[in-house]
Structure 1
């Protein structure tokens, strides 16, 4: 109703102006019978009010849709007002919406093809990396050790690309099962032994073997690996540790991963899960991408786990996954 009145305010003003003007012209011409003039004004006003009521009733659905910007497209296309203006606007919206849907499907197909290409490319790149790793695994010279370290970095980078590309279709690529938490943690620490040795950081696992969780082993292992990689990256001293603690708290199983690194400044803590956010530490450690904790948060959210972070500068960071 408000929109209808706002739109017709100029028409109402023009009507009143022309009515006064006509009565004034008749008055100048000598027709000064007040009752006749009043009767003419009332008759004209009734006709105008009747026209306004008719127009509002025929356009009521149309104005109601315009006053509710959150209306869904299905509601807009429902049968309603048969007024020419409303019908023309619906036809225009249908045409625009059809073009929007076609464009959306086009870009969805392009994105799907791009993700498929990324997946294939990553798998193709993993094959030569595995071959090179097999070729140097029995070599003890320092240069081969350095090559192995760089191969690990490349493998982690490819895994990050692969898991990032798959994140949008997470529901098609996960399998929930009952897992022994200690087994998952030890599997991750074993796969990252070269990273620990290279940086002189050592894992300390204190996880109750009886703790059983419902999760996807592949995605969870990747998330824990990202946390471990961050913990090692921001640990600058030698012979320091990363602590893995698993325990039950109320009805939840909790996994704590604590490092003895540089810690995260308090001002950066609210944004550590934002994509590409590297913060103050990212400017001091050039290998930071800002994607590790973002992926951890996204994976945990999709798996139904909660992730928390606590940190003190110069003392270390604790990341807690609550199952």
Structure 2
């Protein structure tokens, strides 16, 4: 547009120069001013009309980009010129190309997840056989140590299985009344051999409280928190688990260990994927997945999870169950 305006001004200036310098043309100065004004006014009106018409497509395209939807290709504006049609064709070709790439990526990811899930199920068979062998020698101290290591392997494999199921959590979600204290006790019972190996005591406080949630996924969250508590607790330490009902009807589950605690500067990042923090580097056993998965599942099933550092040492993890499950409320609204 700028080049056109400069060209018009140059042509107008050239015309005025010819009129003034050519003695064969007699014209009054007022006529030259009138001719210039009329010419410029006509050009301005023409430019405004062309600018509005030629930018209509770009304005519509920008509006589409600001509020893009899944069906954005169908919402592409109608072209006014050949170049606009070329832009539409390029956008449709790019959309088709990346959809094909996404489909290929999803297929590869699905095959990988299926392989992992199959591997996890297959590996559970020899693990079960090992467990039966271990239980057949309850008084053997060597078997007791092996059982603790077996438990850690089993928990890691179980975590991998849940990771493969996480993307489809909304299809594998069943609400039912569950006792919070009971779920925590079951997880502690499953980790008994690990706790015994480290001589860790587990104390429960508070009465049973029922919440409406998914038992399997909720136990998975508790399991990840307890794994961290046992891993970082010193030998002979104590893990305290308390259940309380708040005045507003919410249920609070607190799990406190006597480990080294979480530095204040690490607290905002402990739920990030892959973050191990200073303690994880010292122990050289952290993967940065446990709390990340716990938070990911908690967000999906309507449970609030947060960490609180102890005054000197130790970490307190909190799980808040609302009186009405938030996940079910959102799902009910979508169904309506």
Q: Same fold (TM over 0.5)?
A: yes
- 1:18-167 superposed matches below 5 A: 18-30=11-23, 31=25, 33-68=28-63, 69-72=65-68, 74=71, 77-139=75-137, 140-167=139-166
CA pair 271-83 structure 1, distance change in 2 beyond 3 A: same
The corresponding residue for 1:12 is: 5
Do the aligned partners of 2:61 and 2:77 also contact (CA within 8 Å) in 1?
Answer: no
Q: Does 2:239 match 1:242?
A: yes
Look up the SS of the partner of 1:260 in the other structure.
Answer: coil
The corresponding residue for 1:182 is: 181
Inter-partner Cα distance in structure 2 for 1:72 and 1:50: 34
Inter-partner Cα distance in structure 2 for 1:100 and 1:61: 27
Shift of 1:120: 0.9
Inter-partner Cα distance in structure 1 for 2:68 and 2:274: 34
The corresponding residue for 1:229 is: 227
Q: Does 2:257 match 1:264?
A: no
Inter-partner Cα distance in structure 2 for 1:72 and 1:14: 38
Shift of 1:101: 1.7
Gaps of 5+ in 1: 1-7
In the alignment of these two chains, the number of paired residues is: 314
Moved more, 180-189 or 253-262: 180-189
Do the aligned partners of 1:261 and 1:314 also contact (CA within 8 Å) in 2?
Answer: no
TM-score by length of 1: 0.90
CA pair 291-313 structure 1, distance change in 2 beyond 3 A: farther
Shift of 1:60: 4.1
Shift of 1:228: 0.8
Do the aligned partners of 1:271 and 1:277 also contact (CA within 8 Å) in 2?
Answer: yes
Inter-partner Cα distance in structure 1 for 2:41 and 2:171: 66
Inter-partner Cα distance in structure 1 for 2:42 and 2:107: 58
Shift of 1:78: 4.4
Moved more, 67-76 or 254-263: 67-76
Inter-partner Cα distance in structure 2 for 1:166 and 1:33: 88
Shift of 1:237: 3.6
Look up the SS of the partner of 2:66 in the other structure.
Answer: coil
Q: Does 2:192 match 1:199?
A: no
Look up the SS of the partner of 1:20 in the other structure.
Answer: helix
The corresponding residue for 2:293 is: 295
Do the aligned partners of 1:262 and 1:316 also contact (CA within 8 Å) in 2?
Answer: yes
Shift of 1:219: 1.0
Look up the SS of the partner of 2:203 in the other structure.
Answer: strand
Inter-partner Cα distance in structure 2 for 1:182 and 1:12: 78
CA pair 60-270 structure 1, distance change in 2 beyond 3 A: same
Runs ≥4 in structure 1, deviation > 4 angstroms?
A: 73-76
Gaps of 5+ in 2: 322-336
Shift of 1:46: 3.8
Do the aligned partners of 1:234 and 1:261 also contact (CA within 8 Å) in 2?
Answer: yes
Inter-partner Cα distance in structure 2 for 1:17 and 1:289: 70
Do the aligned partners of 1:136 and 1:148 also contact (CA within 8 Å) in 2?
Answer: yes
The corresponding residue for 1:274 is: 272
Q: Does 2:310 match 1:315?
A: no
